């Protein structure tokens, strides 16, 4: 792996031409994509002053999570996408990717198949399972991998990937596929009716991420919002501690075992701040349930 990297963890791309390739066989996916990226940067030096396109036409403003453990590949793909106007976050293993998606879901994920901790297939599988359980819109996933056999491509699509790009690849093809997936996702969101989750005098809007208790706006943190949304999708159903932890924090969470109690207590305080009756009830030894007080 290249060792000369800047503070952002990028390779020597753009800081010495082919210096980082000395003594190494030419890898087509790295070398060709670096060249395309560098040429695009030189040709479009004034693009940063141009207003960004909206995500509706596959342009900028979109937030992309790039999940890639090879620093050289992650570096030049990130640079190319940044230059096209996208906001890019990089995760170097599957566990970090799942945490990033849970904490602040991006508009699109570029997901390598071979990853440490949790592989790309399992990441996609867990994301799709959570979306199905919580009835959330599907996050666009572009699988990026060196595996080009038909069974590998089928496996990626079967677990929920929207598209599959095999290494070596041209950066222009990656860019076209990213924009196509963003356009498709934008069209699906605009065509779908807005789903407001309601129970008693409680209303939660997943689209605008707002919560109201009667006429009162309720301010929640990201995790509190996700926890309440899970309760609202399963009213009058007892949810176990393990299920709540898995759905909101993920099965790889290793924090304080009392974290759920803390968040439920905070959520109750926010929902009952004006003296409203308690809706989140404790089921001793099991978990919690959203129901009207008896």
**Mean pLDDT in residue range 259-278:** 93
Q: Give the residue, 5 or 159, on which the prediction is more confident.
A: 159
Strand 108-112 relative to strand 141-145, pairing: parallel
Question: d(Cα 45, Cα 183) in Å, to the nearest integer?
Answer: 25
| pLDDT tens-digit map of 88-133 | 999 999 999 999 998 888 999 999 999 999 999 999 999 988 887 7
Query: Vertex 111, ends 128 and 103: CA angle to 5°?
Result: 60
| pLDDT tens-digit map of 145-157 | 776 667 777 777 7
Query: Vertex 263, ends 261 and 267: CA angle to 5°?
Result: 115
**Mean pLDDT in residue range 249-264:** 68
Domains, in order of start, for the chain: 19-191 (3.40.50.2300), 197-290 (1.10.10.10)
Angle between helical axes of 259-271 and 222-233 (0-180°, round to 10)? 80
| pLDDT tens-digit map of 21-56 | 333 344 444 444 444 444 444 444 333 333 344 444
Question: d(Cα 285, Cα 227) in Å, to the nearest integer?
Answer: 19
How many CA atoms lie within 13 Å of 196's alpha carbon, on the beta-carbon side? 9
Residue 73, C-beta contacts closer than 8 angstroms, at least 6 positions apart: 29, 30, 33, 167
> Taking a C-beta distance cutoff of 8 angstroms, is the pair 68, 112 a contact?
yes
């Amino acid at each position: 792996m290249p060792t000369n990297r800047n503070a952002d963890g990028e390779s020597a791309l753009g800081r010495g031409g082919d210096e980082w390739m000395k003594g190494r066989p030419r890898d087509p996916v790295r070398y060709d994509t670096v060249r395309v990226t560098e040429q695009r940067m030189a040709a479009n030096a004034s693009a940063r002053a141009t207003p960004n396109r909206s995500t509706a036409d596959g342009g900028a403003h979109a937030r992309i999570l790039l999940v890639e453990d090879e620093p050289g590949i992650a570096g030049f793909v990130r640079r190319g996408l940044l230059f096209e106007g996208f906001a890019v976050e990089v995760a170097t293993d599957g566990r970090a990717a799942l945490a990033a998606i849970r904490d602040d879901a991006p508009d699109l994920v570029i997901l390598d198949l071979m990853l440490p901790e949790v592989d790309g297939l399992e990441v996609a599988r867990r994301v799709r399972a959570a979306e199905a359980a919580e009835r959330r819109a599907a996050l666009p996933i572009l699988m990026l991998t060196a595996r080009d056999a038909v069974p590998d491509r089928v496996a990626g699509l079967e677990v929920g990937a929207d598209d599959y790009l095999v290494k070596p690849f041209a950066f222009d093809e990656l860019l076209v596929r990213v924009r196509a997936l963003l356009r498709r996702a934008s069209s699906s969101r605009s065509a779908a009716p807005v789903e407001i989750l309601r129970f008693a005098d409680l209303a939660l809007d997943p689209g605008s991420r707002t919560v109201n208790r009667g006429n009162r706006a309720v301010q929640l943190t990201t995790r509190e919002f996700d926890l309440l949304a899970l309760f609202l999708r399963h009213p009058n159903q007892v949810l176990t501690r393990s299920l709540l932890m898995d759905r909101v924090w993920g099965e790889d969470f290793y924090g304080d075992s009392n974290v759920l109690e803390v968040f439920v207590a905070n959520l109750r305080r926010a929902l009952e701040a004006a003296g409203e009756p308690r809706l989140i009830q404790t089921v001793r030894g099991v978990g919690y349930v959203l129901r009207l007080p008896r």
